[in-house]
Structure 1
Amino acid sequence: MIWILFGIIIVLFIIIVIQFQVKRGIDRELIYLARKLNSVNQENSDEKLLLVTDNKALQVLLTEINEVLNDKQKLGAQFARTEISIKKMLANISHDLKTPLTVVLGYIETIEHDPAMDGFERKRLLANIHRKTIEIIKQMNTFFDLAKLESGDKEVPLTKIHLNEICKKTILAFYDSVQAKGIEADINIPDNPIYVLANEEALDRILHNLLSNALNYGADGKVIGLSLECVNNDIFIKVWDKGKGIEEQNQDRVFERLFTLEESRNKMFQGSGIGLTITKRLVEAIGGEITLKSRPFEKTVFTIKLKKLIY
């Protein structure tokens, strides 16, 4: 009986020793993870935590920690891009406002320093001041509109819209510009009415931006197009041209705020680089999607996809 009890005691002792060793091993691994995590955070590196272990719980913990680190690194990269973008935007705002303001100041000084200026010349300079002032106001409003759209402060109420009429009205507004540049307009708008739940002001601005873009950067192709079609419950508006287009490496970036490479065609607003960004935000605000496909000097197509209004 005594030997049996002695044997049980030995077995229990061995189990305790094993558990103690296992606990010490887990403690060492946890301390290693804690120190490594602290090092990664202090150095703000992209390194992940690696640990060879058979402990299932530690494996799960390690996976979750690496997921958190991955999210943190993505947020850090996004923050860095945003910070650079904000600095660039401020620089662009300063440049875009400084140039016309300098011109306005020059006109005013000319008038002030020449009291004997004849009425016709004075009237011409005042007209130039008025025109430049309007440009400045438009620039400021465009920057503010983007800020409101990105912060969610700009309301875009949705109503039933007759899309055919919006497309016709917008392309007609460009008739004189198309004629002046000697460009052919290929318009394909069906007679059957197509309705969508959207915002008329937003649609006007979206189409105006895209058609202006096509005219400004696709005029070399001597043709621009606007088409409207309905496929099942999806509506597609396409604005296209056959101009110099957008290189493949830039196509994924043309809607980025302040992406202003010349070939990106995003310099729609005196170098501010927010024309296509505002277009994308407005399309998203009315529940749509916008995509781009471009083959330089063959065809560049901006496609807006909306949901058909079922009634």
Structure 2
Amino acid sequence: MRLRPFQKYRSSLLTRFILIIAVALLFIPVLIPISLIASWGVNRILYPMPKVERNPVYQSGKELESLWHKEALALSTSTPEEINKRLEELKTMYPDASLFWVDQTGTTRLQLPQQETLPLKWSISDAITFMKQRVDADPFTIVAFIDGEEEPGRGFMVFELPRKFMNIVSEGRPSDTRFLFGFFSLMLIFFILLSYFFFRDIRHRLLRLEAAMTHTGENGVPALIQEGKPDEIGRLETAFNHMVDELNDSQKREQEEENLRKSLISNLSHDLRTPLTVLASHLYSISKEPLSEQGRHSLSLMETKIGDLDGLIDHLLSYNLLASGRYALSLERQDILRIVRESAAAWYPVWEKAGIEADINLPDEPLHWNVDEQGLRRVLDNLFQNLVRHASGGCYVGISLTKWRGTVALVISDQGPGMRSTSPAKGAGLGLPIVDLLLQEMGLIRDTESSSEGTSIYIYPV
């Protein structure tokens, strides 16, 4: 299914990743204010503004301190009698407070009410000690110099009030910064999880596609996979399924062609045997007639070619049966050295006629393999026939046992031009494929080493 350009862009992995990056870029300028607002709302719900019961007489500490300093400054030019009078007025206004003042000589002048713990004569150390003791203590204490300076030029006056009578001014609603960090952490975790699930989905889909590519079915072709989202990986999955369909179609056509080829070979082989049999019988009849020397030579050549054609047809039938798995083999524990000796004895006259010296070096002890006797004889016949056709120039055939790839192997060697050379007697090339198919069915392997000095064929069990 082809996607329109907009749909293709919208479903792209790149688009989704850019969206995640955009959310990340908005994280600081947008999400942090949201965290602040959310934290403020939670703090407002969990920590409501405290209700303060205000004393109608007394103010807060800051207000009392400001008022007392203003009074001291206003009395900077007043006489002692005026100062006493004003303190008495202030005592009436703040009946729960304790008031007194000290003149410039350090003498305590007026106490409202009278306090026995106060010194009648103040030294500088007494004043310093008194002020240190009253810092953040109860009663709440205010010391103000009457002349408004930092030095006691005309003395100082003191206002003391038990803190229980004071109005505590709330400095605002309590705040817990844990909520701010909590919302910030939640948003950060959300972004991390969003990225994690995005890349985890990509990884799972790629692993599923990899598994589909590496695991094949019984026919050697991967199975179809379920297509996912129409993004880049989805289009890759679609292309993979298309490739699998093409492979299945190609394998089906190949199988049909293979079946047609096997059927053609089988039918053709059977159809050719009848005219060859007729020709062979007529040639035999002609051979009984008186012929010239040239006629007998031609008749012998025709008989040879008909024999070659009959062997080729036999090869075609054997190859067709082996390739289709219909060649009947009966594997039994056999002494292969006995079979090799008997086959070599049958070929000995042929080698002698061709001038080939046979060097058979086999031990007396038997060597048992699980083979089909007729199949192994067919293998040896094909190899010996190839040797006569292509390596007779070396005038040598050697048959022996040797250690090869960690096991005992049967070796058939010659001293001909090697397999890389081209023989003028080269046929259809079915001999070695038939050998390999027969050996494979019997659980044997053929290795070949060829050079200009000759060829060695090693046959050994898997």
TM range (shorter): 0.5 to 0.7
Amino acid of the structure 2 residue aligned with 1:18: I
TM-fit CA distance, 1:141? 4.3
1:157-168 paired onto structure 2 within 5 Å: 157-168=330-341
Q: Could you tell me how far apart the structure 2 residues matched to 1:157 and 1:240 are?
A: 28
Q: How does 1:222-237 map to 2 (within 5 A)?
A: 222-228=395-401, 234-237=407-410
Which residue of structure 2 lines up, in the alignment, with residue 36 of structure 1? 236
Query: Contact conserved, 1:292 with 1:300, CA < 8 A, in 2?
Result: yes
Instruction: Note if contact 2:415-2:455 (Cα within 8 Å) is conserved in structure 1.
Output: yes
Question: 1:302 deviation in Å?
Answer: 0.7
User: Does the Cα contact within 8 Å between 1:229 and 1:237 map onto a contact in 2?
Assistant: yes
Q: Residue type matched to 1:170 in 2?
A: S
* Unaligned stretches of 5+ residues in structure 1: 45-68, 112-116, 248-261
Alpha-carbon distance in 2 for matches of 1:221, 1:149: 32
- SS of 1:156 mapped into structure 2: coil
* Match runs of 1:60-99 below 5 Å: 86=258, 93=265
Contact 2:273 2:310 in 1 (8 A): no
Residue of structure 2 in register with 1:66 after alignment: none
Distance of aligned partners of 1:24 and 1:196 in 2 relative to their CA distance in 1, 3 Å threshold: closer
User: Which whole-Å deviations, capped at 9, do the CAs of 1:179-234 have from their partners, x for residues lacking one?
Assistant: 22112112112223333332211111111111111111111112122224579x94
Mark the CA change 1:302 to 1:213 in structure 2 (over 3 Å): closer, same or farther.
same
369, 372, 381: which is aligned to 1:199? 372
Q: Distance in 2 between matches of 1:181 and 1:106?
A: 30
Task: Give yes or no for the alignment of 1:120 onto 2:309.
Answer: no
Q: 2:356 touches 2:397 (CA, 8 Å); kept in 1?
A: yes
Within the candidate set 192, 195, 211, 1:18 is matched to: 192
Q: CA deviation at 1:291?
A: 0.6
> 1:200 is aligned with what amino acid?
E
The whole-number CA distance in structure 1 between the counterparts of 2:413 and 2:321 is: 28
Deviation at 1:146, TM superposition (A): 2.7
Percent sequence identity is 22
Based on CA coordinates, which of the two structures has the bigger radius of gyration? Answer: 2
Q: Equivalences for 1:165-244 in 2 at 5 Å?
A: 165-228=338-401, 234-244=407-417
The superposition leaves residues 63-104 of structure 1 with CA deviations (integer Å, 9 ceiling, x where unpaired) of xxxxxx9xx99x89x959x77x959967x959x969x78985
1:104, 1:132 within 8 Å by CA — same for their partners in 2? no
Query: Which residue of structure 2 lines up, in the alignment, with residue 62 of structure 1?
Result: none
Across the two proteins, how many residue pairs are aligned to each other?
249
Are the counterparts in 1 of residues 414 and 456 from structure 2 also a CA contact under 8 Å?
yes
Pair 1:304 & 2:459 matched: yes
What is the TM-score of this pair, normalised by structure 2? 0.43
Q: Provide closer, same or farther for how the CA distance between residues 295 and 138 of structure 1 changes in structure 2, counting only shifts above 3 A.
A: closer
Taking structure 1 as reference, are residues 130 and 223 closer, same or farther at Cα in structure 2, changes over 3 Å only? closer
Task: Read off the aligned partner of 2:461 and give its amino acid letter.
Answer: L
2:438 equivalent to 1:282: yes
**What's the CA shift for 1:285?**
2.1
- Shift of the 134–217 alpha-carbon distance from structure 1 to 2, 3 Å rule, reads closer
Task: Please tell me the residue identity of whatever aligns with 1:17.
Answer: F
Structure number with greater CO (CA < 8 Å, separation at least 6) is 1
2:448 maps to 1:292: yes
Report deviation, 1:8. Answer: 1.8
Distance (whole Å) between structure 2 residues aligned to residue 292 and residue 194 of structure 1: 21
**Structure 2 regions of 5+ residues with no counterpart?**
1-41, 44-175, 206-230, 291-295
Indicate how the Cα distance of structure 1 residues 128 and 294 shifts in structure 2: closer, same or farther if over 3 A, else same.
Answer: closer
Q: Which string of whole-angstrom CA distances, capped at 9 and with x for unpartnered residues, describes residues 113-171 of structure 1?
A: xxxx99839xx999999988776665444334333333433332222323232111111
CA contact (8 A) 1:189 1:229 kept: no
Q: What CA distance in whole angstroms lies between the structure 2 residues aligned with 1:210 and 1:16? A: 75
Question: Partners of 1:35 and 1:177 in 2: how far apart?
Answer: 67
Residues 164 and 228 in structure 1, CA contact (< 8 A), matched pair in contact too: no
Q: Which digits, 9 at most, give the CA deviation of each residue in 1:242-283, with x for residues without a partner?
A: 112123xxxxxxxxxxxxxx74x8x97x41x32111211222
Give the secondary-structure state (helix, strand or coil) at the position aligned to 1:293: strand
Aligned-partner SS, 2:366: coil
Shift, 1:28, TM fit: 6.8
Letter in 2 for 1:35: R
Quick one: distance in 1 between partners of 2:438 and 2:377?
Answer: 10
Q: Which position in structure 1 is the counterpart of 2:18? A: none
- Whole-angstrom CA distance in 1 between matches of 2:258 and 2:373: 30
Over aligned residue pairs, what C-alpha RMSD do you find? 5.0
Compare the two structures and name the one with the higher helix fraction: 1
| Structure 2 contact 400–410 (Cα < 8 Å) conserved | yes
Q: Is the 8 A contact 1:107 1:129 kept in 2?
A: no
User: Following TM superposition, by how much is the alpha carbon of 1:288 offset from its aligned partner in structure 2, in angstroms?
Assistant: 1.8
